[in-house]
Amino acid sequence: MSNELDELFGGGQGQPEPRTRLITALLVGGLLTTVLGMACSAAPGGLLVLVAWVVVEKELDRVESGYLSTEFKPRLERLQQAIYIAVVVVIALFAFQFWLLRHGFYESFWGTLIGAARTSAGV
């Protein structure tokens, strides 16, 4: 919080920089969570990708307003394009997950796993 206040009132160290590490972490984490979430729910990963989208848009607005140097704009635009691609991937995975749900994949998948666990436990 104090870093945000320092940044807001111009008290910080040197030139402000965009939060590209945060954006990248949200994007990569969101995609991984979406793919791994195909076992039950891809929604949390999709939400992380959407948060990355919000953050990159805010950072681009900060470049446009003059708060951040224009030297950061190309890197932020590349991240924005990666996020757009990730949103398409997430939507495709949501649609695929919906298709799997409609065709009984999860009932069969989880039923098999539970049955195997019971067998190995001797129940």
pLDDT score of 75: 95
Contacts 24+ apart (CB under 8 A), 43-50: 43/94, 45/90, 46/90, 46/94, 49/83, 49/86, 49/87, 49/90, 50/87
For the chain, give every domain's residue range. Answer: 19-121
- At residue 15, the pLDDT reads 80
What was the pLDDT predicted at 59? 96
| Ranges under pLDDT 50 in the chain | none
